[in-house]
């Protein structure tokens, strides 16, 4: 079955992936922190989507679709337009390139982020691997 990004099914599929992927479990074994992924409307996406993920020691403890960012204070907030995040999901845009060319905004502790870039990159790999279809 095609898993369309973004959708509740995609988020559930990512939750399952993060809790079963051995490579992610190893690389992210020291990661402690939740994050919100904010997808700004562009192209076919007409509404903002916000996904919450509670990531802890190589597992995902919880996911949730949020209506806004006021209801939760996460360690990190990643923001990109739907167009740019689609390019990342399809493997057409490197996540570091996106960050360094202003296509992906990251808010949170930069010290923690820079120390854990391998975890972030492997998280993106998991996202890509559960994405079979873009909206």
Partner 1 sequence: MQPILKVNLTTGETSEYVIPVELERDYLGGASLAARLLYPVLTRDLDPVSPESPILFLNGPLSGTAGPAVGRFVVCGKSPATGLWAESNCGGFWGPELRFCGYDGLWINGKADRPVYLWLNNRKLEVRDAAAVWGKDMYESQSIIKSEIGLPGAHVLTIGPAGENGVLFAGLYCDHGRAAGRTGLGAVAGSKNLKAIAVKGTQKIPIARPELFAPLRSASNHFLKEDTVTQVAHELGTAGVADYADYLGGTPKKYFHQGFFEGVDKVSGSTMAETILVGVSACHACVIACGRVVRLEDGEKRKGPEYETIVGFGPNLLNDDLAAIVRLGEVCDRYGMDVISASNTIGLAYHLYENGVITEKDTGFPLRWGDVTGAERLLHLMARREGIGNFMADGSRRFAAHFGAEEEAVQVNGLEVAYHDPRGVSGMALVYATSPRGACHNKSDYFLVDWGQAETSLGLKFFERHAGAEKAANVARHQDWRSACDSLVLCLFANVPAEMVAGLVNAACGYDCSVDDLLRCGERGWNLKRAINNRMGLTRGNDKLPKALLEPLADGPVAGFAPDLESMLLAYYSARGWDPVTGRPTREKLCALGLEDVAKDLWG
Q: Which positions touch partner 1 (CB under 8 A)?
A: 94, 96-102, 104-107, 109-112, 114-115, 117-118
CB of 88 or CB of 127, closer to partner 1: 88
Q: Give the number of other CB atoms < 10 A from CB of residue 91.
A: 11
Give min distance, CB of 74 to partner 1, in A.
Answer: 16
Return the ∠ at Cα 18 (arms to 122 and 75), rounded to 5°. 75
Q: Among residues 19 and 101, whose Cβ is nearest to partner 1?
A: 101
- Both tokens of 96, joined, read 């570091």
| Residues 85 and 43: beta-carbon distance below 8 Å | no
The least CB distance from residue 118 to partner 1, in Å, is 6
Neighbours of 89 (CB within 10 A): 19
For the bound state, the minimum distance from the C-beta of residue 79 to partner 1, rounded and expressed in Å, comes to: 10
**Residue placing its CB nearer to partner 1 in the complex, 7 or 81:** 81
Q: Of 41 and 118, which CB lies nearer to partner 1 in the complex structure?
A: 118
Specify the DSSP element, H or E, that contains 58.
none
Q: How far is the CB of 73 from partner 1 (least distance, A)?
A: 18
By the 8 A CB rule, do 37 and 54 touch?
no
């Amino acid at each position: 079955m095609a898993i369309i990004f973004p959708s509740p099914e995609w988020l559930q599929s990512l939750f399952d992936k993060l809790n079963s992927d051995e490579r992610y479990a190893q690389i992210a074994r020291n990661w402690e922190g939740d994050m919100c992924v904010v997808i700004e409307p562009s192209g076919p996406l007409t509404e903002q989507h916000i996904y919450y993920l509670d990531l802890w020691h190589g597992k995902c403890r919880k996911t949730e679709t949020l209506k806004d960012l006021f209801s939760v204070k996460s360690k990190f907030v990643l923001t990109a337009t739907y167009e740019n995040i689609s390019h990342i999901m399809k493997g057409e845009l490197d996540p570091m390139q996106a960050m360094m060319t202003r296509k992906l905004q990251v808010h949170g502790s930069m010290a923690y982020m820079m120390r854990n870039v391998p975890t972030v990159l492997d998280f993106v790999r998991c996202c890509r691997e559960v994405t079979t279809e873009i909206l």
